[in-house]
Structure 1
Amino acid sequence: MIKVGIVGSTGYAGGELIRLLLNHKDVEIKWLYSQSYLGKDYHSIFGNFFKLIDKTCVGGDINELINEVDLVFTGTPQGYCSGIINEQLLEKVKVIDLSADFRIKDLDTYTQWYNLEHKSPEYIKEAVYGLCEVNREYIKKSRILANPGCYTTASILALYPLISERVVDTKSIIIDAKSGTSGAGRGTNVSNLFCEVNESIKAYGIANHRHTPEIEEQLGYAAKEKILVNFTPHLVPMNRGILATSYLNLLDKYDYDDIREIYEEYYGKEFFIRILEENIMPETKWVSTSNFVDINFKIDERTNRIIVVSAIDNLVKGAAGQAIQNMNIMYGLEEQEGLKQVPIYP
């Protein structure tokens, strides 16, 4: 059994981690860390866990708590994980961080976009970017795992094959993405109140959203050159889900079968990536509460552009589910363990 602790257990991603891990046959949850709800029964915070989990939230010295576990998930704001990482901790536990602290390899880029001083830059190079279907072999050997962001997961997986195979112009990438409100977290914020969000849709973070450099860096590895993208996220009045629509110029004339073959080559054996049938476009409802990524594309012959659409659940494949998938890879377990839930519909 893998003994795990969860820091940031009372956020939406933390709750999803617990929901999924309760159905994982190889995991024992040892403690749930939350300074905000210290001493409170966990089911009193999330009533859906009543009679399912009998734990109270703990706090205190994380260096003492790690003696009880093999792995720590940190679902915390930027800056926390980099502040606790040191060699003494890593000699005892592996860490899967759901924040951005170790996602970006360029320290100046991290400082610029997050306006934070990184507290353990010596570990940035070692940390593995946990995009499972791309970095699986590196994940197997990692002890610091940077779980990708939700928008980035939907965007990178949709475009990675096209950019790797050099069939699109890397200077023409536009990503238009929509997310449910759970992506903004559980904290109090007027802009996320029901009356502010309901019956509305709005763009935010235009030209400066923090997931932009993460998308650019990872797609840059695929292209083997620096990439810039136009990324615009939108908030839509639903609880969960991301739909990303990307627009790219093709470098030659390709038909549907040409592009389909590329996607099949990269993802044909991937359980969690579903390339839909021709003319069937992804919908967030079809992936809700699951770890699936649905992808499809359309070639606009008139403009010689390809339009790629991807859908994920931002709390599962975009956060907790991918973190568990990474854990399974790290420990040599069946990759689907704990993640076989059928998406909920309707």
Structure 2
Amino acid sequence: MSDISANLSLPFIQASQAQKHVTHNEAIDILDALVQLSVTSRSIMTPPATPETGARYILPVGATGAWAGNEGAVAQWGGEAWRFYPPRTGWQAYIADEAQSLIWTGAQWTGLFSGALEVERLGISTAADDTNRLAVASEATLLTHAGTSHQLKINKALAENTGSLLFQTGWSGRAEMGCAGSDDFAIKVSADGSSWATALSLEATSGQARLPQGAVIDTALSGSAILGTVSQTAGALFERGETTDGSYYKLASGLMLCLSPEITIGAISTAAGSLFQSAALPWTYPAAFSTAPVITGSIATSGTWMGHGPAAVTGCSITAMSYQSLTDGGIIRLTAIGRWF
């Protein structure tokens, strides 16, 4: 039979042994040192000058003095000398100056939960359940990077499933954002937790945005998608241009407005029945229409009005009419309204 126990090396009292109390007390001392193991520190390199009886330390690499050569061991001051207990795999110890528990892996002391940890449910200051397997009650939750970037991943099995963030008031839904029921991204809101309205949706295949409820815009719009080159497929909402023939305003809907510069009309003196007219002048639109536009205009001279020949897609001819012969027709301004596609 061995003289010591298999795990803690406690000495056995032998048959016919004298002074059995010595062996018994030795075993008690070992139990006192190792059971419910709690040490002062694992980072002190040199034995303290006046340690308290029973004080325990885990010795770091490079420990000096009476501790030298016992790195990793548990050292206990017995009142007169240090005793050293080499750890065995699985031993646990609480480190007082770090307020954490360690475990001996067989090669080193490491954090009790520094390796992979899997639990079925985890509640932090609140109860977790089978649906909410991770539950946290806190004023804030911080997820930060470990070096550079950080991603929060919400994964769903199929497109028709839901992966979203739900915001609640009194456990009743008020807003939700994510991919709910499809791979399109949407933001929905609710006033009562039962009736929902989609405020914004982004199509997964094209990236196109939709505002099903409309939008109220309180500040100015800007950017090339607002004012730029319009087209029938993809372009700006509004386009403005200017040439020597005037200015144009083109909308993505197909409507276009052309404004002429100030055109000086000469004498209105050519008889036209009982009226008088000026010589015809050409106006080339600053941008071409797809079909003949509607032409309107005004003349600054009293008692005169404008006339024009058949409107074409690129321009028209204009004249000024009057009830009387005038040597100066004045200034005329023209507007053409039509479609650019």
Q: Under TM normalisation by the shorter chain, which class is it?
A: under 0.3
User: Higher strand proportion, which one?
Assistant: 2
What TM-score results when the alignment is normalised by the length of structure 2?
A: 0.18
Q: Which has the higher contact order (CA 8 A, sep 6+)?
A: 1
What is the TM-score normalised by the length of structure 1? 0.18
* Structure whose alpha-carbon radius of gyration is higher: 2
